[in-house]
Amino acid sequence: MRSPVVVVLLACACAGKPVGPAGTTADGTSTTSGGEQRWTTEPQEPTTTGTTTTGTTTTTTGASEPELPSEGYHCDPRRQDCPAGHKCAPFASMMADDWNGARCVPLAGDPAELGEPCETEDYAHSGIDDCGLGLICWYFESAADLHGRCLGLCGEDDGCVDPDARCYEQPEASFLCYPLCDPLAQDCPPPATLCVRSSGVDGFLCRYAPAGEPAGAGMPCAGETDCAPGHVCDLADLVSGCAGERCCAPLCSLSQPSCPAELPQCLPYDATPPPEYADVGVCRAP
């Protein structure tokens, strides 16, 4: 029997005047610095057992699941404040392509633990999966095949229970523990095919490659996930012939450099890198 991993957390931060999604109330004990307010609602309880009589037939009904809300923040994954047998999970209303709310969903009878295989129901950001408390199913094979593995949720003030993961802020105030990886080996398990450096994170993380053809060396980019595996999105003046504000440049090993002729210098990617990334360089223009 798997034992649920109780990890922490996602927060919805709404700045300014205390106005939240319809039906919500401000939880005065759950605030962030700077006056930002996290929102939650009273947990939805399952309906109770009852009987219905039609003519001479009596039907007994058991407890049923609460109806899942279609939008908004209805619970707090930081507190896991849902009824017994449920967990608070981030989800996307209207089948959006990123999380924009949180709701109570049924907890699997034998939930998967951190890093174990899992499956999500309905659509990628439904929040309905067979992972335990404080976990979410991610890294899918495709939009049609929602089999992945359980990753931890985290909060802006909390780390990850997995020492080999880092908390990365997603859009709409959601936080996910992405696994660390080796950018020179590009050792992320598919379909998380990119090992990239993300702003605000001390290390390289496994991320999804965007749809379409990734950008190669010298091609314009807007962010790290725009470039092909083994590349970074570097400043234009460091990449020969760059036609944008930033362009992709190949990574290299400082101890065994190998760079293309147009970007011949293998230079340290970070001035003061963590020890495990001390050999990571990037090919740059002279």
3-state class of 146 per DSSP? coil
How much is the pLDDT for 87?
Answer: 94
Quote the Cα angle for 110-135-75, to 5°.
Answer: 105
**Domain shared by 36 and 144, yes or no:** yes
Same domain, 25 and 159: yes
**Among 201, 210, 4, residue whose Cα is nearest residue 87:** 4
**What percent of the chain is predicted at pLDDT more than 70?**
74
Q: Decide if 124 contacts 140 (C-beta within 8 A).
A: yes
The residue ranges of DSSP E strands in 173-285, in sequence order, are 174-179, 194-197, 204-207, 231-235, 246-253, 265-268, 280-284
The residue from 131, 147, 175 where one domain ends is 175
Tell me whether residue 52 is in a domain: no
Identify the helix (H) or strand (E) that includes residue 88: strand 86-91
Please tell me whether residue 60 adopts helix, strand or coil conformation.
strand
In a domain? residue 263: yes
Question: Same domain, yes or no, for 72 and 147?
Answer: yes
**Together in a domain, 92 and 124:** yes
Q: Is this structure's pTM higher than 0.75?
A: no
Spatial CA neighbour of 104 closest among 125, 76, 62: 76
Residues in the chain: 286
CA distance 240 to 242: 6
Residues 270 and 146 both lie in one domain: no
Asked whether the beta carbons of 180 and 33 are under 8 A apart, the reply is: no
Same domain (yes/no): 253, 136: no
**For residue 214, what are the domain limits?**
184-284
Summarised one tens digit per residue, pLDDT across range 216-252 is 999 999 988 899 999 999 999 999 989 999 999 999 9
Is residue 116 over pLDDT 50? yes
Q: How far is Cα 231 from Cα 247, in angstroms, rounded to an integer?
A: 10
Q: What pLDDT was estimated at residue 41?
A: 41
Give the model confidence (pLDDT) of 57-83 as tens digits: 545 444 555 578 888 888 888 778 899
Residue 53 included in any domain: no
Q: Based on the domain organization, do 126 and 24 belong to the same domain? A: yes
Cβ–Cβ under 8 Å, residues 282 and 249: yes
Q: Which one, of 159, 170, 156, 167, lies nearest residue 38 by Cα?
A: 156
Indicate if the pLDDT at residue 5 is higher than 50: no
Indicate whether 138 and 239 sit together in one domain: no
Residues 146 and 227 reside in one and the same domain: no
pLDDT of amino acid 110: 95
**Total domain count, the chain:** 2
Strand 265-268 and strand 231-235: the pairing is unpaired
The verdict on residue 3 lying in a domain is no
**pLDDT higher than 90, residue 284:** yes
Within this chain, do residues 40 and 134 fall inside the same structural domain, yes or no? yes
Answer yes or no: are the C-beta atoms of 226 and 210 closer than 8 Å: yes
CA nearest neighbour of 229 among 258, 196, 252, 260: 196
In this predicted structure, what is the pLDDT of residue 11? 34
* pLDDT score of 212 more than 80: no
Are 129 and 257 contained in the same domain?
A: no
In a domain, 2, yes or no: no
